Amino acid sequence: MLTKKNIAILGAGVMGTGIALTFALKGYDVKMLYVYDDKQRGGQVEGMTENLKVLCDNGLIAESEIPETIGRVSFTESIEEIAEFADIVFECIVEKLEIKQDYFAKLDKLCAPSTILATNTSAISVTEIAEKSVHKERIIGTHFWKPAYLMPLVEVIRTKYVCDDMVRQTYELLEDAGKMPVIVKKDVPGFLANRMQHALFREALSIVEHDIASPEDVDKAIKFGFGMRLGVMAPIEVIDSGGIDLTYNIHEYLFPHIENSTKPSRLLTECLEQGKLGFKTGEGIMKWSPEDIEKSQKNLIEGLIRVEKALNRI
């Protein structure tokens, strides 16, 4: 059994509090650093408590575990306090390279040499984030998926500087916290899962843009078709199961007809120009009433719980 590490989190927004819950539920002590307007936004404890109540309502934790879990999470405005406390720091702040670089350089100076410094960035090169730091070998990517306390996947991204021991420690820590870590061997744009996800998004948008199917039917085709299978049998296994020859023949015929643009879709551009931003404005590619949005968000959490239960993953 691993010795429980002290978990520090830089930033107390949605991802930060989700990661905090992940570790607090497994008995880790967590300290969160308020960054920018985190404190002004407030509601972190209330938000985490509400998330725990959903887990309780769905039979995943006992009611008595709610105050115990929240009690393992504390907050501070002192980066020095974080540096003294942490065995590992998970950074969850704004997606701006220079701001991340400056925070990592500061943490690199303050933290003990053994402290792992991890970024939850979903887009920025982890290698670039490490550039202003001296001890680049202890800086690593750990891309959690939202909601972090429910989604098992965490991408562990190697940089050209990181040492093998830091990768091993991070991987083992995430496994102990109940996650399903995967190693991304090269620090490439989109890492691993987002490259595949947005390739799907590009084709989905192209289908709508070219009036092949409606937005609603595009989503139905995924939800009630191959999307149901992906949690059990994913692409590489499907390819081997069906046969390399079959997949080769399909690709040879199909690929010339699939979207291969290197620019964002015209449909996205038009929505952006018209101020249609999705849930934020009540309309994106589809229209969303406040009731629709609430229902969608509730369905996501409860649906993920049902899927995890069905697949015996929680």
| 278 secondary structure, DSSP code | B
Q: Which of the listed residues 159, 184, 209 is the one where a domain comes to its end?
A: 184
Specify whether 27 is located in the same domain as 90. Answer: yes
What SS3 class is residue 25? coil
b (16+ CB within 10 A) / e for 6-25? bbbbbbbbebbbbbbbbbbb
Q: Which of 75, 52, 101, 109 is nearest to 301 (CA)?
A: 52
Q: Judging by DSSP bridges, how do beta strands 88-91 and 73-76 pair with one another?
A: unpaired
Domain tally for the chain? 2
Domain that holds residue 209: 193-310
Specify whether 199 is located in the same domain as 268. Answer: yes
What integer pLDDT is reported at residue 214 of this predicted model? 98
Specify whether 169 is located in the same domain as 199. Answer: no
| 221 in a structural domain | yes
Specify whether 43 is located in the same domain as 145. Answer: yes
In the predicted model, is pLDDT for residue 314 greater than 90?
Answer: no
| 283 secondary structure, DSSP code | B
What integer pLDDT is reported at residue 110 of this predicted model? 98
Residues 182-222 have pLDDT tens digits of 999 999 999 999 999 999 999 999 999 999 999 999 999 99
Specify whether 141 is located in the same domain as 109. Answer: yes
Q: Which of the listed residues 160, 184, 208 is the one where a domain comes to its end?
A: 184
Residues 25-65 have pLDDT tens digits of 999 999 999 987 676 677 899 999 999 999 999 999 999 99
Specify whether 212 is located in the same domain as 299. Answer: yes
Specify whether 223 is located in the same domain as 171. Answer: no
| 2 in a structural domain | no
Q: Which of 46, 33, 133, 41 is nearest to 91 (CA)?
A: 33
Q: How far is CA 185 from CA 129, 141, 158, 248, in A?
A: 17, 11, 6, 26
Specify whether 210 is located in the same domain as 176. Answer: no
pLDDT band at 245 (very low <50, low <70, confident <90, very high): very high
Give the domain CATH number at 254: 1.10.1040.10
DSSP 150-194: T--EEEEE--SS--HHHHHHHHHHHHHTT-EEEEE-S--TTTTHH
* Burial environment of residue 247 by CB neighbours within 10 A (0 to 12, 13 to 18, 19 or more): middle
Residues 143-172 have pLDDT tens digits of 999 999 999 999 999 999 999 999 999 999
| 297 in a structural domain | yes
| 37 in a structural domain | yes
Location of structure tokens 């006992």: 62
Specify whether 206 is located in the same domain as 171. Answer: no
Give the domain CATH number at 132: 3.40.50.720
What are phi and psi for residue 235, nearest 5 degrees?
A: -50, -45
Location of structure tokens 């967590």: 30
| 140 secondary structure, DSSP code | E
User: Where do runs of H (alpha helix) occur along the chain?
Assistant: 14-24, 38-41, 44-57, 65-71, 79-85, 97-110, 126-129, 164-176, 193-209, 215-223, 226-230, 235-242, 244-254, 266-273, 290-310
CA dist., res. 126 & res. 118, Å (int): 9
Specify whether 161 is located in the same domain as 20. Answer: yes
What integer pLDDT is reported at residue 87 of this predicted model? 98
What SS3 class is residue 287? strand
Specify whether 235 is located in the same domain as 119. Answer: no
CA dist., res. 126 & res. 122, Å (int): 10
Residues 248-269 have pLDDT tens digits of 999 999 999 999 999 999 999 9
Q: Which of 291, 153, 155 is nearest to 231 (CA)?
A: 153
| 1 in a structural domain | no
Which neighbouring-strand residues pair with 142?
Answer: 156
Q: Which of the listed residues 127, 158, 184 is the one where a domain comes to its end?
A: 184
